[in-house]
């Protein structure tokens, strides 16, 4: 096997595989090492996102949403059906097929772009040397001019709810249930907890979400968070804030959860328990003591704004470095590093990283919230437009939510966009593009949007910043 490369990437998740492909496209001899094994025990590419995270969860979210639509809402739009039933094994099988197609696609992209895919473990040694330990066979030391570390992240464990792989599971295990739990507990009301809770609630579970924080979705816009909590509660999610789980015991009939809230000690029985309290950088076995790469106080690999570590010619990208653990953020970092190694000078605009929660309604945002601007003392204006006034949303029978645009009071430059509603994950791209080009709310308001579309809500919110919205009564500016 080859042992000398221009670039060696450790990790084939979104950050790593995109870095490897782009480096090879730029003429750099590239290898990508990944140790992941699929459920069949065979090597797989794509990391957590494609195999156990973003993609499989969205497959189940979409399937469960279609089930609810058919069961509860088709009649409202004039479609009559017989009894609508679910087939959980078929859903899981389809999810697995989607994952297999996408991960196989990465293998084809590696082959087509000349990236050497190496199945096994990679450890960074000193001087850009990498110890590669294949799943079968002896370890070899490989030499590289540059190394990109992209090992990703893993779910956080908590002592109060030890995983057993059956009754108490993490986000990966929650994607493999073969039947709908009658009563389901979820620890954590963040992105993962809400998405997984939504899946099984739609399919018939009584879902209780236990969240330690007193505030719901503190990273989101306050109004968005309030509306989301109200909507999710109506959908059947029992979200209990300010709760601290003390103990979880597996018994013959399920899991007994002991927790504390403002009223004192509480006990709850569930059939299954999902632990979704966040993720942590995965650095186990990644670094030799003399690698020269340092970790920060939270366990992330320390990097500068260009994703360079303290070791010469060694970079780190994705979930293992500072910033939000989002696949698209890691992808952009991976491509930036590959480009810079090849002599180009791109940058990642960390002010324009969108976030999405794929519940229904979807939640998406980019930039600053009102709370952040108030705390910093910055003057701003707000435009907001409800989907209840959108003709396209009415036609789709899905009018929950709104679009909110925040702009600088002096320059009118867009500072943040917050959306809760149908296809928020798609609409937020309009905001990201506008902000990437330093657009003002007026720029967006003067842009022509097709009619009728959901995107018109973005247009109207932009007009509303200056009090000029057409399809709603404008609030008088103070």
User: Residue 297 above 60 pLDDT?
Assistant: yes
- Give the domains, in start order, of the chain with CATH numbers: 4-154+280-348 (3.50.50.60), 168-277 (3.50.50.60), 352-465 (3.30.390.30)
- pLDDT tens digits, one per residue of 343-399: 999 999 999 999 999 999 999 999 999 999 999 999 999 999 999 999 999 999 999
State mean pLDDT over 449-469.
96
Check if the beta carbon of residue 9 is closer than 8 Å to that of residue 30: yes
For residue 22, what pLDDT band results from cuts at 50, 70 and 90?
A: very high
135 included as an active-site residue: no
For the entire predicted model, the pTM comes to: 0.96
- pLDDT tens digits, one per residue of 325-335: 999 999 999 99
- pLDDT tens digits, one per residue of 139-154: 999 999 999 999 999 9
DSSP secondary structure letter of residue 165: S
Which pLDDT value is given to residue 190?
96
User: Residue 27 above 80 pLDDT?
Assistant: yes
State percent of the chain over pLDDT 70.
99
User: Residue 123 above 90 pLDDT?
Assistant: yes
Residue 330 exposure: Cα atoms within 13 Å on the Cβ side: 30
Catalytic residue among 73, 135, 344, 451: 451
How much is the mean pLDDT over the chain?
Answer: 96
Task: Name 148's Cβ contacts closer than 8 Å, sequence gap at least 6.
Answer: 7, 8, 9, 10, 16, 19, 20, 23, 314, 315, 316, 317, 334, 337, 338
């Amino acid at each position: 096997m080859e042992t000398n490369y221009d670039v060696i990437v450790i990790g084939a998740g979104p950050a790593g595989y995109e870095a490897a492909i782009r480096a090879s496209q730029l003429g750099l001899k590239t290898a990508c090492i990944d140790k992941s094994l699929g459920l069949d025990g065979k090597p797989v590419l794509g990391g957590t996102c494609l195999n156990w995270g973003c993609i499989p969860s969205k497959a189940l979210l979409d399937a469960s949403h279609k089930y609810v639509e058919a069961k509860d809402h088709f009649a409202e739009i004039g479609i009559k059906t017989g009894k609508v039933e679910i087939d959980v094994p078929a859903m899981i099988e389809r999810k697995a097929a989607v994952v297999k197609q996408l991960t196989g696609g990465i293998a084809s992209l590696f082959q087509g772009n000349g990236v050497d895919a190496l199945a096994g473990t990679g450890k960074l040694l000193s001087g850009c040397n990498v110890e590669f330990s294949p799943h079968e066979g002896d370890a070899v030391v490989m030499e590289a001019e540059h190394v990109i570390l992209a090992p990703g992240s893993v779910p956080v464990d908590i002592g109060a709810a030890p995983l057993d792989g059956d009754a108490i599971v993490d986000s990966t295990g929650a994607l493999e249930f073969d039947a709908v739990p009658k009563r389901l507990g979820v620890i954590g009301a963040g992105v993962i907890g809400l998405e997984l809770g939504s899946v099984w609630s739609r399919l018939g579970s009584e879902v209780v979400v236990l969240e330690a924080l007193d505030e719901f979705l503190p990273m989101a816009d306050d109004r968005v968070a309030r509306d989301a909590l109200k909507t999710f509660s109506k959908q059947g999610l029992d979200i209990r804030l300010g709760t601290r789980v003390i103990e979880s015991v597996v018994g013959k009939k399920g899991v007994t959860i002991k927790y504390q809230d403002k009223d004192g000690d509480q006990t709850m029985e569930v059939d299954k328990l999902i632990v979704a309290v966040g993720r942590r950088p995965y650095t186990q076995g990644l670094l030799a003591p003399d690698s020269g790469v340092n970790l920060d106080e939270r366990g992330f690999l320390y990097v500068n704004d260009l994703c360079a570590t303290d070791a010469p010619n060694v970079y780190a990208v994705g979930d293992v470095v500072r910033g939000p653990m989002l696949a698209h953020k890691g992808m952009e970092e991976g491509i930036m590093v590959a480009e810079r190694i090849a002599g180009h000078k791109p940058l990642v605009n960390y002010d324009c990283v969108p976030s999405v929660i794929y519940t229904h309604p979807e939640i998406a945002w980019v930039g600053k919230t009102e709370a952040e601007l108030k705390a910093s003392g910055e003057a701003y204006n707000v435009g907001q437009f409800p989907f209840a006034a959108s003709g396209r949303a009415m036609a789709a029978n899905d009018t929950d939510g709104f679009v909110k645009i925040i702009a600088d009071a002096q320059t009118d430059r867009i500072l943040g966009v917050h959306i809760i509603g149908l296809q928020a994950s798609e609409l937020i791209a309009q905001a990201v593009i506008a902000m990437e080009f330093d657009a003002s709310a007026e720029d967006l308001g003067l842009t022509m949007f097709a009619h009728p579309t959901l995107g018109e809500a973005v247009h109207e919110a932009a007009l509303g910043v200056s009090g000029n919205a057409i399809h709603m009564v404008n609030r008088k500016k103070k």
